[in-house]
Structure 1
Amino acid sequence: MAYDFLEQSTRLMKQAAEIGEINPDVVELLSGPGRLIAFRIPLKMDDGSSRVFDAYRVCHTDALGPTRDGTRISPDLNLDECKALALVMSIKHAAGRIPAGGGKGGIAADPGKLSKQEFERLCRAYIRYLRPSGPDCDVPGADVGTDMQSMAWMLDEYEQITGHHAPAAVNDKPPILGGTLGGYEATGLGVFEVFEAAAEQIDFKLEGARVAIQGFGQVGSVAAKAFQDAGCKVIAIREIDAGVYSEDGLDIDKLLEYREENGSLEDFPDADSISNEDLLTCDCDVLVPAALQGVITKEVAENVKARMVVEAANSPTTLEADEILLERGVTVVPDVLANAGSVHLCQMERTQGLSDDYWGAETISEQRRRRLVHSYQKAAEIAEEHGIKSVRLGAWIHALKRIEEAVLARGWC
């Protein structure tokens, strides 16, 4: 059966709400998005023809502050995926004590099949259709299929429409336009920093720890380098089309150079090939799913050999698999904490944009690490208070309690 991201996320929210004794009216309010729009973008192509693209924006709840982040441009994007991502983003913000709600959206399109000019027109058209939007309402950011250039186009379009500069209206833009330093590495480094905090709590030794990583994109590659620099041994890495394994450890810099030259990890010298299935269950100490949703299923969980699972991807572990891992004594570092580095960076970007006071890389790095570590420690503390093993549920309970407080203070329930 296909993985149902929205069903799993909603079920997890209700499970956390029951344990945390969240007001039932608040749970009902949070069981669906507070606002959503679906629209169609007509686009004139370079050859003179026209195409129409489906697009969405989902704002889950703005009880804590403006909804923020996440603009995906991918061929299979649909409204349910946006709903699930917006819910999870609300939890990430609240669990990190960020005064914002969850926003996600995007366009069902393949950027690889569009020219640069077509892609720019599509990004600009998307921002024109967002109603309402702006620094104090709803702030889009980058996600799958978008980057700093995409956000630069969107910011420029917003400012052309409104007639004034507003760097806080769009996240993940280039520093020259009011973006923040440290954007590329924020999530990958954050994955390692939260892992480090979790490892310290269970007295897990980093030196020589064997790490397997599924996914070697922006997040996976940065995390892999951080693990290696800390003395861990990265023994397995898998991308979409190829995977490599070496019991003695892989050289991450050489892997990156090889992929840059060859376009793939296939036939990387002095290493064996490895499949996705074998990577997830290989003999390692730390497993880092950094690619797809729902890859650690019940069947996979029963064969995971890692002592720790660090979720760099969104929702890579099903709820059934999560229970099995916990029963087997595996420490699961959940996605809403482990991959929240860019979420905290966006909050810092907003603060800098509103104040017109921009920080150096050292300040940003220290702020990111401090916020991520505190969020993990708080989630672990709440899990212990409720007598549960799951730090994931601890994070969701903490987030829901903060949202509940805001909702009740506003008189919405």
Structure 2
Amino acid sequence: MDNVFESALDALHKAGKKGNINPRVLKLLSRPKRVSDFAVTLKRDNGDFEVYDAYRVAYNDALGPTRDGTRFVPNLSLDEVKALGLFMTIKHAVSGVPAGGGKGGIKVDASKLSDRELESISRSFIRNLKPKGPGVDVPGADIGTGYKTQSWMLDEYEQITGVHCPQAINDKPAAVGGTVGSAEATGLGIFYITQEAARDHEIELDGAEVVVQGFGQVGATIANYLHEIGSKVIAVSDISGGIIDRDGLDIPELAKKVEAGALLKDLEGYEQVSNEELLELDCDLLIPAAVQNVINKNNADDIKADLVVEGANGPTTPEADEILKEKGIPVIPDVVANAGGAIVCHYERIQGITDDYWDIEEVEKRLKKQITGAYSASYDVSQELDLSMRHSAWVVALKRVSKAVEMRGWV
């Protein structure tokens, strides 16, 4: 099952059946509430004129306004955006965030745009996005977007409305109403979840052998936190490939080199490993923190980790999930493990509404309590109903969404 939206619907219906969710609610959740498909135009610096496909999906807003990321990637598809919108509906619900699931983006290679061009399409995206606003639909950042794009989007929204409204856009820098701790939130949340899961599965993290696929913002953050508590991060990778050292890599040193622009395959003095080989290394903990569908029916039987914690969205296909379950390898699903960014976006919203901004200690304290609470609720249901953590997390989320849908009289 390679179609990411079909995979998302498969997870929805399997969890719905196991959790005895109202079939009408499942039918409602089998399609987005609203899909926007529009064009974004750009006058290039060289005089060329481009028209790009843009999408925004408001999947379900029973629990609150739809919120989450905006991708600027060349291979973006509507099915991908719909799947991610459903994932965000579940992620917000299981994490106790009063928000619905949304996702959007532009089919463009952001790395090939100048700052002026990037600003132009960011502002155009907001101008063309309808409806929008803090009580309706709130775009955040994702692949190809970040502090710059979100600042431009906020400014465009405020120029249009004439109202100061930092809560209209998520993932902004603190200088324009964002929150401290947002850049590290996803990686830190994965670290908190990894500690909980390791305890429940009797894995001692001090000295544990860890493999991390993906050494961007998320992968590097979680690798560094684990390195600091004594874990041996034996292999990491980026888009170019990976490196391995059974004695443990110097993560802070690697992070400095990567931040300076180095690709892992170009670093001298390391044993090279492909991204595919890296996933099959013998280790205590595997964290796929790169892209979707990397653990699939073709390689799942060769996974040797004792525990898998999903740092990326959708890194494990449904077929692979079943194989890993049969092998007795627990998987902590993305909707719980990488919810730190979504949770801290909620904190950003609270601070924007109240104009009361927190320090990093307050953000991290609240994040730890909320994300470990989501893990505990999912773990308890998994034990009670004898479910995988993925199915139990979806069951917890679906029960919350279902209650809101039914109370609103939608089904």
| TM norm. shorter chain > 0.5 | yes
Partner secondary structure for residue 105 of structure 2: strand
Partner secondary structure for residue 107 of structure 1: strand
Question: How many angstroms apart in 2 are the aligned matches of 1:8 and 1:245?
Answer: 32
Match of 1:371 in 2: 370
Runs of 4+ in 1 over 6 A off after TM superposition: none
Question: How far 1:214 sits from its partner (Å)?
Answer: 0.7
Match of 2:237 in 1: 238
Matched ranges for 1:205-220 at <5 A = 205-220=204-219
Question: How many angstroms apart in 2 are the aligned matches of 1:142 and 1:258?
Answer: 25
Partner secondary structure for residue 59 of structure 1: strand
What letter matches 2:391 in structure 1?
A: L
Match of 1:123 in 2: 122
Match of 2:140 in 1: 141
Question: How far 1:298 sits from its partner (Å)?
Answer: 2.0
Question: How many angstroms apart in 2 are the aligned matches of 1:36 and 1:337?
Answer: 25
Match of 1:382 in 2: 381
Matched ranges for 1:231-310 at <5 A = 231-261=230-260, 263-310=262-309
Question: How many angstroms apart in 1 are the aligned matches of 2:259 and 2:165?
Answer: 37
Question: How many angstroms apart in 1 are the aligned matches of 2:55 and 2:230?
Answer: 43
Matched ranges for 1:173-184 at <5 A = 173-184=172-183
Match of 1:400 in 2: 398
Match of 1:114 in 2: 113
Question: How many angstroms apart in 2 are the aligned matches of 1:347 and 1:217?
Answer: 23
Q: Which runs of 5+ in 1 are unaligned?
A: none
Q: Which runs of 5+ in 2 are unaligned?
A: none
Question: How many angstroms apart in 2 are the aligned matches of 1:317 and 1:113?
Answer: 30
Question: How many angstroms apart in 2 are the aligned matches of 1:355 and 1:362?
Answer: 19
What letter matches 1:228 in structure 2?
A: H
1:311 aligns with 2:310: yes
What letter matches 2:51 in structure 1?
A: V
Return closer, same or farther for 1:144/1:260 CA change in 2, 3 Å cut-off: closer
1:9 aligns with 2:13: no
Match of 1:411 in 2: 409
Matched ranges for 1:337-376 at <5 A = 337-376=336-375
Partner secondary structure for residue 38 of structure 2: strand
Question: How far 1:111 sits from its partner (Å)?
Answer: 1.0
Question: How many angstroms apart in 2 are the aligned matches of 1:78 and 1:325?
Answer: 28
Question: How far 1:261 sits from its partner (Å)?
Answer: 4.7
Question: How far 1:335 sits from its partner (Å)?
Answer: 0.5
Question: How far 1:86 sits from its partner (Å)?
Answer: 0.1
Question: How many angstroms apart in 2 are the aligned matches of 1:405 and 1:288?
Answer: 33
Matched ranges for 1:63-212 at <5 A = 63-212=62-211
Question: How many angstroms apart in 1 are the aligned matches of 2:338 and 2:81?
Answer: 18
Instruction: Using structure 2 for the length normalisation, give the TM-score.
Output: 0.98
What letter matches 2:155 in structure 1?
A: D
Return closer, same or farther for 1:162/1:262 CA change in 2, 3 Å cut-off: closer
Match of 2:25 in 1: 26
Question: How far 1:262 sits from its partner (Å)?
Answer: 6.0
What letter matches 1:166 in structure 2?
A: C
RMSD between superposed Cα atoms in Å: 1.1
Question: How far 1:260 sits from its partner (Å)?
Answer: 4.1
Question: How many angstroms apart in 2 are the aligned matches of 1:400 and 1:355?
Answer: 30
Question: How far 1:47 sits from its partner (Å)?
Answer: 2.7
Q: Which moved more, 1:243-252 or 1:377-386?
A: 377-386
Question: How many angstroms apart in 2 are the aligned matches of 1:211 and 1:341?
Answer: 20
Matched ranges for 1:313-332 at <5 A = 313-332=312-331
Return closer, same or farther for 1:56/1:267 CA change in 2, 3 Å cut-off: closer
Match of 1:334 in 2: 333
Instruction: Using structure 1 for the length normalisation, give the TM-score.
Output: 0.98
Question: How many angstroms apart in 1 are the aligned matches of 2:261 and 2:381?
Answer: 47
- 1:208-231 per-position Cα deviation (integer Å, ceiling 9, x unaligned): 100011110010000110110111
What letter matches 2:176 in structure 1?
A: L
- 1:96-153 per-position Cα deviation (integer Å, ceiling 9, x unaligned): 0111000000100111221111110100000001111001000000000000110000
- 1:148-171 per-position Cα deviation (integer Å, ceiling 9, x unaligned): 110000000000000010010000
Match of 1:57 in 2: 56
